[in-house]
Every structure is written in structure tokens, then in C-alpha cells.
Amino acid sequence: MNAKERRRQDQADLAAVLESKHGRRFISRMLEVLTVDATDVCNPSNTYYRLGLQAKARDVQNEIIRDHFDMYKLMLSEAHSDDNEDSTCKTEPEQ
């Protein structure tokens, strides 16, 4: 498989993942985890490692935005909706 065919296959695979709500949730969480602050004053080697993870996460995010923008918007909307559901305070009715 040459580079062009591999790129096309990667795009199709990513589209298949993004078609599923579970796949979008997984990608959203992965991007969130990988883009957390990378600085670690006590361990510069760890900082560089985490900066590399951030760069890869941005590459994936940029690819999703470029090739699957509608799915990216839907993913953000669902993530925002899930965050709101998690943060709502559930109280028991007063008796």
C-alpha cells in the first residue's frame, strides 16, 4: 500500500469511528486527555514527552477538522452536552 492509499484508508477509518457516538466520545476524551498542560518542572524529560503527545493530538484534531468538520462539530456538541449532564446537581424532592 503506497502513501496515498494509506492516507485514503486512514481517512475512511477515521470517518467510520466518527460515525458512531461511542467513537466520537472516545476521540473527544482522547483529545482532552492528551492536551492537558504538559509542563513538569520536576522532570523536563516528561515535559518533552507530554509536549510530543500534545502535538500528535493536535495533528489528529486538525485532520478531523479538515476532513470531517461536520462530525467534529457534532463531537463538540455531544461533549458539551455530556459535560452539562455531569455537572447538573440532582437533588431529591423535599418531603
Cβ partners under 8 Å of residue 74, min gap 6:
24
Dmax over CA atoms of the chain, in Å, equals 69
CB atoms within 10 A of CB 71: 19
As a dihedral over the C-alpha atoms of residue 61, residue 76, residue 21, residue 37, rounded to 10 degrees, the angle is 50
Q: What is the mean pLDDT of residues 47-72?
A: 93
Residue 63 in grid coordinates: 485532520
Give 41: exposed, middle or buried? Use CB within 10 Å, 0-12, 13-18, 19+.
exposed
pLDDT tens, 8-58? 999 999 999 999 999 999 999 999 988 877 777 788 888 888 889 999 999
